[in-house]
Chain A
Amino acid sequence: MSADHEQHPLFMPLVFVGGLIFGFGLAFSHMAQPEIVLTFLQFADFGLLFVMFGAAVVTGITFFGVKLVRSDAPLTGTPYSRRLKTLDRNVVVGGGIFGVGWGLSGICPGAAYASLGIGNVIILYGIAGMFVGAYLQGYWRSALLESDSAATAAD
């Protein structure tokens, strides 16, 4: 995923078009409205399940199906591989912290960007908060990494 993969003239336009469809879908399904996400979490309307799992079914078919046809992506040469992350404590702790934020606000990153697109300027409070949170964890984890490597060096 290095920057030279972005050399292909169609790389950025394709990413933009993909984002366009993605954002339109979030707005059409009302996921850009925090209230609707909250009605799901409060068991008043289970429609969100169709959005998240409907999308996952499409990506699942794509991720597994494309490998039957070709092995690498035409614009980058990147081999097609699934999105696999290491399962560790961070997945659970981070997921829990994200869950508290999601349940409190009814927003998540993609839906928040889409919310701005439908004119909801109030969502900027949420997006600003996300940047603050992302910065805080980056600051803490960078500091932790340095003190860890300093401790290792001292040992």
Chain B
Amino acid sequence: MSTTLPLAVAILAELFPNGIGHYAIGGLLVGLGTAVIYLGTGIPAGASTFLESTLSYGSSLSRFQQYHPSRDWRVVFTLGIVAGAAVYALTFQSGLVSSSLHQPATTGQLVDIGGFTVWLTDVQPWRLFLGGILIGIGTRLGKGCTSGHGVCGVGSASSASFVGVATFLLVAIGVAQLVQAVGVSP
């Protein structure tokens, strides 16, 4: 006991250098947001269908028009996500509210704009854009993203989602490590 406890603490500190509190709380809230919509409407909402359903406003392609019935609420859902993150930025990120469970940003740039602190990424735009294109293709072809497959699908014990999550997780780990190995940073 006297030797295993410090070892366990050391391993935890190694695996989770920023602690686990804000991750666990954030995850519970992501699940709660999904649960609120599901309980009221019966819809297991994912975030990536918004990309295609929103394209149906400007394109008559059949792939997009199939999402015509859900496109309005998907816009509202996405605006809610943006607004919820903005509430975080106005409170915790701007220092208006503080908590021992909150972890301040350790990456990117925090910029104060008249009392409102915005956060800016250091990841290069070409990585975001090229990655974005692949994400747009892959999530729609693969029937879901980290929220559709990862949260709703895994929560549904769906075998397609288990396969989907395992696939994109393993591939992403390989690619991120490769990108790091060839020296692309940030």
Contact = CB atoms under 8 A, between A and B. Distances in A.
Interface of A: 1-3, 5-6, 10-12, 14-36, 38-39, 41-48, 50-60, 62-63, 66, 72-76, 78-88, 90-123, 125-139, 141-142, 145
B161 A85 contact: yes
A51 B21 CA distance: 10
Chain B facing A: main interface SS? helix
B7 interface: no
Contacts of B68: 3
Contacts of A96: 138, 142, 167-168, 171
12 contacts: A1-B70, A22-B80, A29-B26, A35-B107, A39-B107, A42-B176, A59-B38, A83-B156, A99-B175, A118-B118, A119-B119, A127-B132
B156 A27 contact: no
Contact of B42 (A46, A78, A87, A125): A78
Interface of B: 15-20, 22-48, 50-52, 54-55, 59, 61-64, 68-70, 72-73, 76-89, 92-93, 102-103, 105, 107-108, 111, 113, 116-123, 125-161, 163-165, 167-180, 186
Contacts of A120: 108, 118-121
Given A19-B80, A41-B177, A55-B151, A1 B136 contact: no
A1 B78 CA distance: 18
A129 B52 CA distance: 13
A63 B38 contact: yes
Given A38-B123, A142-B63, 14 more contacts: A14-B37, A15-B76, A21-B84, A23-B82, A28-B22, A28-B102, A50-B20, A83-B152, A105-B123, A105-B131, A117-B81, A119-B111, A129-B132, A133-B133
A105 B85 contact: no
B181 to A, nearest CB: 10
Given A16-B80, A59-B35, A129 B44 contact: no
A106 B148 CA distance: 17
Nearest to B56: A138
Contacts of B151: 52, 55-56, 59
A133 B132 contact: yes
A130 B136 CA distance: 4
